[in-house]
Every structure is written in C-alpha cells, then in structure tokens.
Structure 1
Amino acid sequence: MARSLRPALLLLLLLLGSARPSGENRCVAAAEACTGDARCQRLRAEYVARCLGRAAAGGCPRARCRRALRRFFARAPPALSLALLFCPCAEPACAERRRQTFAPACALAPPGASPPPCLAPLDGCARSRVCRPRLLAFQAACAPVPGAPDGCPQEQAPGCRRAYAGLVGTAIAPNFVDNASARVAPWCACGASGNRREECEAFRGLFTRNRCLDSAIQAFDSGGLPALREQPGPYPGGERSVLQVGAGGGG
C-alpha cells in the first residue's frame, strides 16, 4: 500500500503518524508535506497569491480569493489539505497563521473590521448556488446522533470534516477561535439580530454547540492518519431551509 502513495503522502504519514517531540509544530509539518506535492503546492500558491500576496495589495479581489480557496479543497489531495486545515496549534503565532491561511481578511473583511451580524452572510449563503448546497451538506454530515459517543459515530467523522472544509471560501467560512482548543465559529455576531436573534444563534450553534463537529476535529487531531482515506464528495443541494437540522445545533 505504501508504494502506491505519492512521496508527499508518505512524508505526511511519517510526520503525523510517528512519535513526535512535544515541541514539533504539526502545521509546519503539514505545510512541508503540501510543498512536496506538486498539485497541492500549485493550488496553495494560487490562493496565497489571490488572498495574501500582491494580488490582494491595495484592493482585495474577494471573489477570486474565495474561489481559489474552494479550488484548493476541491482539487488538492484531501490528506494534505485537511492536514493543513486541522493541524493543532500550541502558540498564538501558529494560530494566527492558521487563521490567516483559511479565513484571510481578503476573504471576509478588511483589517480592523468588526464581525458583521451573522444574518447578512447567512442570507447571502441561502441565495448562493455555491454556498447553499455546502451549508446543507455540512448540516447533514455534522448533525449529532442521539446516543452516539461524543455525539458523532466514528464513521460519520470523515464526512463531517469534508463538509466543514467545503465551507472554506464562502461568506460563512468558520475558523478556530483560539489556539488552545478545537473550537470553531463563523466570523460574525448576533448582537444586532433584532427579532431574528434566535435564528442567528441557531446558525452559530451549528459550529459552536455541535458535539459531532467537535469530536470529528478532535479525532483528526489525535489520529491524523484517517485523512489518508478521506476523499472529496459532492455538495448536494436541497429544498429544505438551511437551518432545518433537527439536532444539528445542539450538544
């Protein structure tokens, strides 16, 4: 089996699966593995140029930045792209680099801006042929299962992680909230939601109160290697509301 893997995947297997010194940075290891794979590096260089490089200086090409981020997760080897997305950080500088990598200011808001009300990006997502099916797929894949340990059956975790990655490069892209846990949240707030406050909190709860998502991310953190078996899947659409999830926001 090992002989059929590309060199970059073998490198990732060694970096994430071997015993590591406590001070080793797994995000750096994941970046090195991506650099060693031509396709991963090309797609990564594309979104870096669109979102963080000269193309973003003096005027952010937001649509192009988001599209490049989506292309990275759609076309890069999942073992490498997910290792970059879910690599654990142990110090603030690493966490900030990780945040800027997948939720850069160009994709969401200019530097120094306050988080917008969640309802604006949520309404935009509901009207978008790109974002809507991805949010629906996330709701379905990461819906907690009553009675399951940690809210998420083991076989559900890979699909949950893939669906989460599918939201990167959209208006509702979530990201880690700190460098001390696996907690994530969309970059928005519910303080000015008026009579839609409950709807807004339900949307944030899809990420902040989702035991299935939490356990799926933590399982990747502790194992890493299951990513080698994860393959990208479609983002099915649907006619239901983006907030009709049943237990999807609970936990």
Structure 2
Amino acid sequence: LLFCSCRDQACAERRRRTIIPDCSHQEKHKPSCLDLQQLCRSDALCRSRLADYHTNCQMTQHSVTSCPHDNYYGCLMSYVGLVGSDVTPNYSDNSPSNISISLWCSCRGTGNQERVCEAFHRDFTHNTCLSESTQWGGPLT
C-alpha cells in the first residue's frame, strides 16, 4: 500500500497512515527539523540511513530523472530505510493525485539557522527524485 497509486481520497489517507497510524504518539507541536536532524546524527543507524538517503535521493542536474544515476530503486530503498527513525518521512496529505512527502517537523524558531533548517526540510518536501521514485512502477509495485 505504501507505494500504490490511489484513485480516491480514502485510499490516499490509508496510504498516509501506513507509516504513522492515528494510534501512534505524535506531539501537538512539531519539533524543530534541526533537533530531529541532530537526534538522527547522534544515532549510528539513523545517521547511516540518512547518509544513504542523501546519496541516493539527492537531486542532481546530471541525470534525466534528477536522481543520481537515474536510480529510482536506490532512492526508494533509502526512503524506506528511514521509516521508523527520528527522521521518518511520511505522506503529508491524503490527496490521491498530488503525492507530497514531508518530515513531522518545523523550522519555526530556528533563528539564524533557519536557512540550514529549511534546506534539510526541502530534502524531503521539494525533492523531485524522491517524488518520482515513490511513483515509479518498478519491482516493488
């Protein structure tokens, strides 16, 4: 269900809840993205998976798809590797036609590090490689 295309809002909402269901604990206020990044960097497994994500999903202008080496599968597996970590990305809405992925964090109150925070947040929210990878019809779908 995680990578299935949806034709209606109910399906898209089920897909969104696959990673973080309603019964899971989620803070009322979003934590700082920089705090999440720091938590992840202090944990060896999360740090290595985040590095893998950046290696495989970092947008590049040197490929047709904007994915490094046009490797959708590598980006998709790196995305899946982050599920359950401090920086678990998730579908941010339940639109069947517009897949948008985001972290559960905010850059409010980050002061003079706001640009750094927004850049980290954009690695997930405005990442063409990631969005194309989640819509890719490869061996997982």
**Which range, TM-score by smaller chain?**
0.7 to 0.9
Note the 1:1-251 alignment, pairs <5 A.
Answer: 84-104=1-21, 109-110=26-27, 113-152=28-67, 155-178=70-93, 179=95, 180-219=97-136, 223=137, 225-227=138-140
Higher helix proportion: 1
CA separation in 2, counterparts of 1:86 and 1:198?
31
Contact 1:103 1:168 in 2 (8 A): no
Q: TM-score under structure 2 normalisation?
A: 0.85
CA separation in 1, counterparts of 2:18 and 2:129?
24
Higher Cα Rg: structure 1 or 2?
Answer: 1
For this pair of structures, how many residues does the alignment match?
139
CA separation in 1, counterparts of 2:71 and 2:65?
12
Aligned CA RMSD, in angstroms, stands at 2.1
Distance 1:96 1:168, change over 3 A: same
Distance 1:118 1:136, change over 3 A: same
Contact 1:103 1:174 in 2 (8 A): no
CA separation in 1, counterparts of 2:120 and 2:69?
24
CA separation in 2, counterparts of 1:121 and 1:186?
9
Q: TM-score under structure 1 normalisation?
A: 0.50
Q: Gaps spanning 5+ residues in structure 2: where?
A: none
CA separation in 1, counterparts of 2:26 and 2:113?
23
Query: Identity across aligned pairs (percent)?
Result: 38
Q: Gaps spanning 5+ residues in structure 1: where?
A: 1-83, 229-251
